[in-house]
């Protein structure tokens, strides 16, 4: 049963690039929401595979819900999100990545939390899932998302689980499309620094994200984050003027830092010593990948 009660309109924005299968999974979970007043905007970032075809199939089947916008001039997930925002009608804007899935009451819970708590900027809980339990998937589950900590300490939520009132974008403006990564961090800090908006974490609203189950996918992500870190220091030196040395990423992680990360998992006692040792070296490898991304962007600029 659809939830009516003169509820506010929500725009759900999905940035996507060459992920037909992931987009299909995400849209399948979104078109059956029990909330009535919402639209889904697929923001394609110039895909060259069947992604756009999948989006069009859903649009034909659900013409009153699904919209498609294309951002093929700027290769950036933030540019795609911006295109979606500018094409949206919702009072509240919710972001989700193509390949994530949600329960059918996700939007109704989001609106209830936003409205009752008078929240302007909210990060939802993210649960990592995988079909196979290899060492990389397990590592990803343990270390990937600590959103409550991010909001409290770093003043941002990852965009894959971010919900924002439209008025926030009207005041602090859109994402910075120049950034290859960390645009969510930069935007969140703008919101925080305005000192006008309530930022919270919704522990009871869960979105599901597939695990990165290969060393290649993990390294690729961290390399991109390293590039984004460097871009932050270049474009926003006053906000992100921290000292950063690549050599830090060539050294093993501190034992205390490593233990802090893995201790966040609920099943840490069931993880073998060999797996913990493997996690340590994976973390070291990814620190190096981040440093290489930072160095690459430094040389490029």
- What is the model's pLDDT at position 246? 42
* Average pLDDT score, the chain: 88
What's this model's pTM, rounded to 2 decimal places? 0.88
Q: Which residue has the tokens 């909001």?
A: 151
Residue 245 pLDDT greater than 50, yes or no: no
**Helix 135-143, helix 255-262: angle, nearest 10:** 90
**Cα–Cα distance between 15 and 45 in angstroms, integer?**
7
Residue among 223, 215, 102, 210 nearest 163 (CA): 102
Structural domain spans, the chain = 10-212, 216-300
Residue 244 pLDDT greater than 50, yes or no: no
Angle, vertex CA 295, rays to CA 219 and CA 128, nearest 5: 25
Q: Where is average pLDDT lowest: 97-101, 109-113, 231-235?
A: 231-235
**Cα–Cα distance between 132 and 138 in angstroms, integer?**
9
- pLDDT tens-digit readout, 121-131: 999 999 998 87
Span 272-291, average pLDDT: 84
**Cα–Cα distance between 226 and 230 in angstroms, integer?**
6
Structure confidence at residue 1 as a pLDDT band (50, 70, 90): very low
Residue 249 pLDDT greater than 80, yes or no: no
CATH topology of domain 10-212: Spore Coat Polysaccharide Biosynthesis Protein SpsA; Chain A (3.90.550)
């Amino acid at each position: 049963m659809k939830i009516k009660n003169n509820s506010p309109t929500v725009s759900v924005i999905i940035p996507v690039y060459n992920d037909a299968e992931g987009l299909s999974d995400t849209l399948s979970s979104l078109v059956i929401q029990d909330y009535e007043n919402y639209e889904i905007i697929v923001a394609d970032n110039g895909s060259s595979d069947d992604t756009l075809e999948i989006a069009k199939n859903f649009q034909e089947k659900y013409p009153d819900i699904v919209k498609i916008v294309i951002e093929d001039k700027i290769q950036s997930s933030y540019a795609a999100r911006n295109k979606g925002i500018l094409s949206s009608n919702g009072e509240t804007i919710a972001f989700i990545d193509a390949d994530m899935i949600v329960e059918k009451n996700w939007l109704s819970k989001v609106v209830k939390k936003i409205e009752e708590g008078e929240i302007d900027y909210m990060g939802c809980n993210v649960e990592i899932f995988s079909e196979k339990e290899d060492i990389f998937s397990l590592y990803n589950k343990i270390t990937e998302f600590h959103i409550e900590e991010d909001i409290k300490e770093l003043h941002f939520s990852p965009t894959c689980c971010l919900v924002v009132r439209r008025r926030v974008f009207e005041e602090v403006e859109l994402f910075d499309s120049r950034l290859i990564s960390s645009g969510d961090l930069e935007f969140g800090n703008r919101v925080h620094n305005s000192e006008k908006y309530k930022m919270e974490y919704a522990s009871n609203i869960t979105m599901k994200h597939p695990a990165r189950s290969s060393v290649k996918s993990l390294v690729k992500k961290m390399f991109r984050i390293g590039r984004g870190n460097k871009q932050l220091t270049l474009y926003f030196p006053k906000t992100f003027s921290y000292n950063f040395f690549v050599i830090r990423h060539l050294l093993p992680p501190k034992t205390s830092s490593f233990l802090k990360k893995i201790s966040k998992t609920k099943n840490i006692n069931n993880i073998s010593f060999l797996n913990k040792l493997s996690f340590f070296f994976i973390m070291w490898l990814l620190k190096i990948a981040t440093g290489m991304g930072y160095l690459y962007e430094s040389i490029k600029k």
